Structure 1
Amino acid sequence: MQFDLNALIRENIKQLVPYSSARDEFKGEAKVFLDANENGLGSPLTKWYNRYPDPQQIAIKEKLSFIKQTPADTIFIGNGSDECIDVLIRSFCEPRMDNIIICPPTYGMYEVSAHINDVEVREIPLTPGFQLDLQAIEEAIDDNTKMIFICSPNNPTGNSIDRQDIEMILNNYFGIVVIDEAYINFSRQRSFVPDIKEYPQLVVLQTFSKAWGLAALRVGLAFAQKNIISVMNKVKPPYNINQASQEWIIKALEEVGQVNDMIRNIVAERSLLEKSLSELRVVEQVYPSDANFLLVKVTDANGIYQYLLEKGIVVRNRSSVILCNDCLRITIGTTIENNQLLNALKVYQSV
């Protein structure tokens, strides 16, 4: 058996003639634009925001191509990683027929996007050590399993998924394998982006929301072989990344050194916070993390969560999630924020 992209694409997507925007049809330089029904007088903000943005985000892809060492036509840019997830499911999964596999506890939007598109979700929980259950995944796969989502480093557990297990899936399953690397910059693990040339079914997701600190711009990335990227570009809205976001992303890509400094700072703070939390009586376990957060098992997650809220400190209560009983997910903040959290917890355990 081998990977056959044509067999995975939904029939209506194969036949789809994508919307052709004015900016898609025009190539080159011009001084007078009378093709897109824009307001030629400008806008209240700046003259340039009255024009539609580049629908293919070419300038960003060219810079990313150099940074990631992958061709520009292997890059898809989405309105956050959530759009990448949605476009993948809409492109390849037939509603009420196909299914995807997810491995909870994991990022919730895989399931939400599947349900929005009326696609069955098969949940194969991680092992108690937060790793893939390969045998259960194999048993869950059938002829209509179009996609497997793997989050590594995983959210909310923080750990990286064993690379050999992921490679086992890539070498034996020939639907789409999506590896979500939203937190890869905080890990010592090697990204799977260089491996897209070896695996035609591999899609790797990344984002500007975490290490780059640009969550408000809503820009996510998908890396895959160009035939998959071509399908995704066919399905996406024509102007899915606004002009302001494109401008700021291009500026940010000039500051890779500053981003690396921030990553080192966050990783250092993660180590300090992990050690300090482990010394508290109300903390039962701090799970190892390759992300910019810690999963922390406490004596009373609901009570501590409410107490912290009263003190103006917001963490994420993950107690209702499988394998995360009495667990809080705590994002690594600034030194001041982390100390405020620790001081609040010390007061709580002394009462």
Structure 2
Amino acid sequence: MSIQDLIRPSIKALKPYSSARDEFKGSKDNLIFLDANENPFENGVNRYPDPQQGELKALISKIKNVPTENILLGNGSDEVLDLLIRMFCEPNKDNIIILPPTYGMYEVLANVNAVETFKVNLSYETFQPQDSNIIEAANINSKILFLCSPNNPTGNSFEASTIEFLLKNFKGIVVIDEAYIDFAIEDSWLGKLQHFPNLVVTQTLSKAYGMAGIRLGMCFASAEIIATLNKIKPPYNINQLTQDKAMEGLRKMTLVNSQIACLLDERGALIKALEDVDFIVKVYPSDANFVMVKVDDANKRYEQLIDSGIVIRNRTTQPLCDNCLRLTVGTEEENKRLIENLKTL
């Protein structure tokens, strides 16, 4: 498979914008900067940020064991996903494939870019990709297959053998969205980047790292793919405050790992408690920081919890999720209050 053959011709021919901070590569010590029309009065944020986020990428590279040339950062994972669609999908011609029930932004971003969405539902009850159906549904204009693993909203991870089959047989880019990978038993696919040129892995600081407010998404792929994404990303897409806060958080991995361990314990306790709630028909296994449950009447139970001061996600309108609610794992006190309220409904 040639990645270059998958990239839109207009993107391949694009000459990227060169910002002032891209053009100057030397040391910044003892220099007067009069190149970017910035306000010269120092206040901590009067200068443009590093457009390539070099220091932050070096830290991520160390934590993830992935070379910096294989990393692109985005304003949340949504920007990364949007860039991937724009890079590979010709508007009003190409399509992406998604596996409902899944993260809704894949389809939204495709619609924004005038790209068609093909849908191949996950298997009933097990929520695993139907690999042969996916390959059958694809055509020569199917450029990207989105796999959310662990999956949102079902919480399960996809089987490694199925993902490998799709990587080998889908004639396009396979994007594995690993927003919840830190809560899963299964290993990340980051270690497989060198084996599959069409593999792209996305992760985020919004979940396990506790930094949803700074909006930082991470894309890991071949140097070839990352180089092209860098051509089309906005020049200063990661602001200085986000870069500073991300580095501050990533230097506290002991705290991050402690919080992950706590959430995993709370997830287990929450699942056990949910199984004793009368109107919950089924509690689905989870590799994420949330649990999906099937109830007798999702709309009714959702409104009852709202009235009790607890906000959850009603997923009953999603394929295969009839009467299903998605419950985020909170603190011990929050989970206790949730269970107490559920048992009084």
Structure-1-length-normalised TM-score: 0.96
Identify the residue that residue 153 of structure 1 maps to in structure 2: 150
Identify the match of residue 114 of structure 2 among 96, 118, 127: 118
2:195 corresponds to 1:198: yes
2:32 corresponds to 1:35: no
Residue 36 of structure 1: how far off its partner (Å): 0.7
Contact 1:4 1:174 in 2 (8 A): no
Written as runs of structure 1 = structure 2, the 5 A alignment for 1:330-345 is 330-345=327-342
Identify the residue that residue 306 of structure 1 maps to in structure 2: 303
Identify the match of residue 10 of structure 2 among 12, 34, 49: 12
Residue 125 of structure 1: how far off its partner (Å): 0.2
Give ranges in structure 2 of 5+ residues lacking alignment: none
Aligned partners of 1:332 and 1:222: how far apart in 2?
A: 26
What amino acid sits opposite 1:34 in the alignment?
Answer: L
Identify the residue that residue 280 of structure 1 maps to in structure 2: 277
**What is the RMSD of the two structures over their aligned residues, measured on CA atoms?**
0.7
What amino acid sits opposite 1:314 in the alignment?
Answer: V
What amino acid sits opposite 1:71 in the alignment?
Answer: P
Residue 327 of structure 1: how far off its partner (Å): 0.5
What amino acid sits opposite 1:274 in the alignment?
Answer: I
Aligned partners of 1:29 and 1:230: how far apart in 2?
A: 23
Identify the residue that residue 292 of structure 1 maps to in structure 2: 289
Residue 135 of structure 1: how far off its partner (Å): 1.6
Post-superposition, which runs of at least 4 consecutive aligned residues in structure 1 deviate over 4 A?
A: none
Aligned partners of 1:158 and 1:246: how far apart in 2?
A: 30
- Where 1:284 maps in the other structure, the secondary structure is strand
Aligned partners of 1:121 and 1:74: how far apart in 2?
A: 27
Residue 67 of structure 1: how far off its partner (Å): 1.3
Aligned partners of 2:168 and 2:131: how far apart in 1?
A: 13
Deviations 1:79-128 (A, max 9, x none): 00000000000011000110110000000111000010000100000001
Written as runs of structure 1 = structure 2, the 5 A alignment for 1:62-73 is 62-73=58-69
Identify the match of residue 54 of structure 2 among 54, 58, 71: 58
Identify the residue that residue 189 of structure 1 maps to in structure 2: 186
Identify the residue that residue 141 of structure 2 maps to in structure 1: 144
Aligned partners of 1:145 and 1:114: how far apart in 2?
A: 12
Contact 1:301 1:328 in 2 (8 A): yes
Identify the residue that residue 86 of structure 2 maps to in structure 1: 90
Aligned partners of 2:239 and 2:62: how far apart in 1?
A: 22
Written as runs of structure 1 = structure 2, the 5 A alignment for 1:170-181 is 170-181=167-178
Residue 174 of structure 1: how far off its partner (Å): 3.0
Deviations 1:168-189 (A, max 9, x none): 0111223100000000000010
2:73 corresponds to 1:77: yes
Deviations 1:38-83 (A, max 9, x none): 11113xxxx1201111101111111111111111000010000000
What amino acid sits opposite 2:158 in the alignment?
Answer: I
What amino acid sits opposite 1:167 in the alignment?
Answer: E
Aligned partners of 1:321 and 1:139: how far apart in 2?
A: 23
- Where 2:44 maps in the other structure, the secondary structure is helix
Identify the match of residue 266 of structure 1 among 241, 258, 263: 263
Aligned partners of 2:17 and 2:259: how far apart in 1?
A: 40
Aligned partners of 1:204 and 1:24: how far apart in 2?
A: 26
- Where 2:72 maps in the other structure, the secondary structure is strand
Deviations 1:289-320 (A, max 9, x none): 00000001111110110011111100000000
Contact 2:150 2:288 in 1 (8 A): yes
Residue-pair matches, total: 342
Aligned partners of 1:305 and 1:135: how far apart in 2?
A: 36
Identify the residue that residue 251 of structure 2 maps to in structure 1: 254
- Where 1:197 maps in the other structure, the secondary structure is coil
Contact 1:147 1:175 in 2 (8 A): yes
Contact 2:135 2:169 in 1 (8 A): no
What amino acid sits opposite 1:20 in the alignment?
Answer: S
Aligned partners of 2:342 and 2:326: how far apart in 1?
A: 14
Percent identity of the aligned residues?
Answer: 52
What amino acid sits opposite 1:154 in the alignment?
Answer: N
- Where 2:257 maps in the other structure, the secondary structure is helix
What amino acid sits opposite 1:22 in the alignment?
Answer: A
Aligned partners of 1:41 and 1:51: how far apart in 2?
A: 9
What amino acid sits opposite 1:209 in the alignment?
Answer: S
Residue 257 of structure 1: how far off its partner (Å): 1.2
Give ranges in structure 1 of 5+ residues lacking alignment: none
Aligned partners of 1:199 and 1:241: how far apart in 2?
A: 28
Deviations 1:246-287 (A, max 9, x none): 001111111111111100000000000000011010111110
- Where 1:257 maps in the other structure, the secondary structure is helix
